[in-house]
Structure 1
């Protein structure tokens, strides 16, 4: 009986370790992230070329550059990965440095807020993949929960992200 309890404890510890959303990555450094909005494709680049690609969902109004809070658009331009949220509502998330100074100046000139809190994040809810409901975010970049686990481990703060129409 004691042996069975011991073995069940080991098995439980092993399985809980497998279920962690935090992954490790020991491969080549991600030197740049590229997003092609028209192709709904996120690309992670390393020093010797492409390391990984992912299909994505975007903001609910995907055409054009994000200009104002609530416009449903995903930004376009050059930004940085600037933060991460391990407690994200959307599994895990990696932040993008939108808005930059030009984004802020444009919105303020129009008497509006540029918005913010743009992230690469996981899916909308369990059982539904982000690519099953294209363009459902408020301007973020959505991937599956498994994919954001990899991205979260691979992409470090300070990595450039270039977002193309």
Structure 2
């Protein structure tokens, strides 16, 4: 009888333990925080990754390899992707990374956020560290309006400035893995692999419209 009672008690304890461990919420404290290393978006049907978790370059070629009509660029922050379109549709797409807080709009200088809105490429130049630099016309009138409203609402310190110098560029030699691993390292610019910025520069010229969105 004592043996039966002991076995029954043991089964009850084990049953309660399994029930507790099966609850994913109970195993992670609500106050726990993870060390931020790189933002890794959820892979969707339009953003496929290989077994290592690295998204490959997405590139679409035309038979002639030339553009048709005016070119425009859409940078999708949620997908970490830069897409090039012409009059025939999608021409090319490249993986990109951003500043420290990739999915937040830029508020002011020094916040390391990438601005959202409609911009134009002002000019391009070779860069000693980052291969090429396609400079955007930030801040635009749209950027200034948002900046003033946020300052009025107290979201920006009174002595803060809006900032400038936002562009699309490569990485230092040997750092292409920043893009592979979604390492958001810039101060607010958009960064591609060096071979990709070379390719993009074939299409993107001064005056090209660039839309940055979530």
State the TM-score, normalizing by the size of structure 2. Answer: 0.61
Bigger RCO of structures 1 and 2 (CA < 8 A, at least 6 apart): 1
Corresponding residue number in structure 2 for 1:147: 196
Match of 1:98 among 111, 123, 138: 138
Shift of 1:156: 1.1
What is the TM-score when the length of structure 1 is the normalising length? Answer: 0.77
Measure, in 2, the Cα distance between the counterparts of 1:140 and 1:158. 18
Unaligned runs of 5+ in 2: 1-64, 152-157
Q: Name the SS of the counterpart of 1:92 in structure 2.
A: strand
Compare CA radii of gyration and give the structure with the larger one.
2
- State the Cα distance separating 1:81 from its structure 2 match: 1.0
Gaps of 5+ in 1: 1-25
* Structure with more of its chain in strand, by fraction: 1
Q: Distance in 2 between matches of 1:66 and 1:44?
A: 23
Summarize the Cα distance change of 1:77–1:49 in structure 2 as closer, same or farther, 3 Å threshold: same
Checking the alignment, whether the CA contact within 8 Å between 1:31 and 1:47 is kept in structure 2 is yes
Residue 51 (structure 1) aligned with residue 95 (structure 2): no
Equivalent of residue 128 in structure 1, options 175, 182, 185: 175
Q: How many residues align?
A: 140
